[in-house]
Amino acid sequence: MQFKALEYLEAIYKYKSFTKAAEALFVSQPAISAAIRKLEDDFNVKLIIRTPKKLFFTPDGETFIAKIIPILEELRSIEKDMLAKSRNRKQILRLGLSPTAPPDIVHRIYQTFLPSLAENEEVFFDEGGAYYHIQKISNGEVDVAINVIPEDISDFPVASIPLYRQEICLLLREDSELAKYDKIPIQLLNSTPITSLGASSYLPKRLEMEAAKRNIHLKVVSKHLHQTSYIEEILLGNSSGIINVDGNHMSRALYAHKALVTRPFQEPMYLEIGILYQKDGHLQPLTKRILDFIENSAKSSI
């Protein structure tokens, strides 16, 4: 019998919903369902009955949860006491940020979340593309990231919380011929030299998918691992790039580059932006706090 499974059972009892329990605990619903099934198998007893409209605890389930809740409360009290005794122990949050992470959320992290940290708490920032952060989270090197949620996210041991969408745009010099368009016909990419980010970013893969749907052959002239050299090449004016942007804010990646502009495509293309974190893993208190903070910041900015 695992402590985690008991926490899942308690949350289901509280919210009367597997979905709401999963959201509250930042785990996937299948993980909660599997843990409850194992708990029932271990004791050879049915604890919960689910119907299309609601769920309810069986008499055995009610008896079991009534005994478990005080135990969980006592364990949390012990945990709180132990944490209080170890206040000098450093708590480090490793936070991944996309170069195009929503500026309003990033600013709130700097202006509100960081000043709220205790003396023994620190945040280290790690900037990179979606697949870069997915690998780092999978390896336990990053706790949470704000980045693009790839369509193949289910292939990785990484959970996601969607926040909102950003539009895929062409990134180019303000004095280029294509900048005269308010919206770019995607067919022009057949003849437009494209500077691309490397495999650590999901954006090139998504553009290739969209181009293939329309029988467009991209003319990729270079690939870059880092955003800095990627933007430098576009500034030279020999090629254009692709960037995801929030319609209400200038991308952080473009703050210092006034010569660059973005243009949407005639056929809009969007990316899902959200939070990435380790699937079904133990979340330290500081990690839970930043998850709640980012979600609340996103809601208040809509």
Q: Is the pLDDT of residue 204 over 70?
A: yes
Q: Percent of the chain at pLDDT above 90?
A: 46
pLDDT of residue 59: 94
Is this structure's pTM higher than 0.85?
no
The pLDDT value recorded for residue 26 is 75
pLDDT in tens, 149-159: 999 998 898 99
Mean pLDDT to the nearest integer, 32-53: 91
pLDDT at 65 > cutoff 90: yes
* Per-residue pLDDT at 86 exceeds 80: no
> Above 90 in pLDDT, residue 124?
yes
Burial of 164 (0-12, 13-18, 19+ CB in 10 A): middle
Number of neighbours of residue 109 by Cβ within 10 angstroms: 20
Cβ neighbours, 10 Å, residue 157:
12
Q: Residues with Cβ < 8 Å from 188, sequence gap 6 or more?
A: 178
Distances (CA, A) of 290 to 13, 110, 118, 119, 208: 26, 12, 14, 16, 34
Q: How far is CA 202 from CA 88, 199, 242, 276, in A?
A: 40, 7, 11, 14
Task: List the domains of the chain with CATH numbers.
Answer: 3-85 (1.10.10.10), 91-164+273-301 (3.40.190.10), 165-271 (3.40.190.290)
Q: Position of tokens 């299948």?
A: 30
Distance of CA 301 to the CA centre of its chain: 17
Please tell me the predicted confidence (pLDDT) of residue 275. Answer: 95
pLDDT per residue as tens digits for the range 241-255: 988 887 655 565 665
> Whats the size of the chain, residue-wise?
302
pLDDT at 248: 54
pLDDT value of position 76:
80
pLDDT at site 293: 95
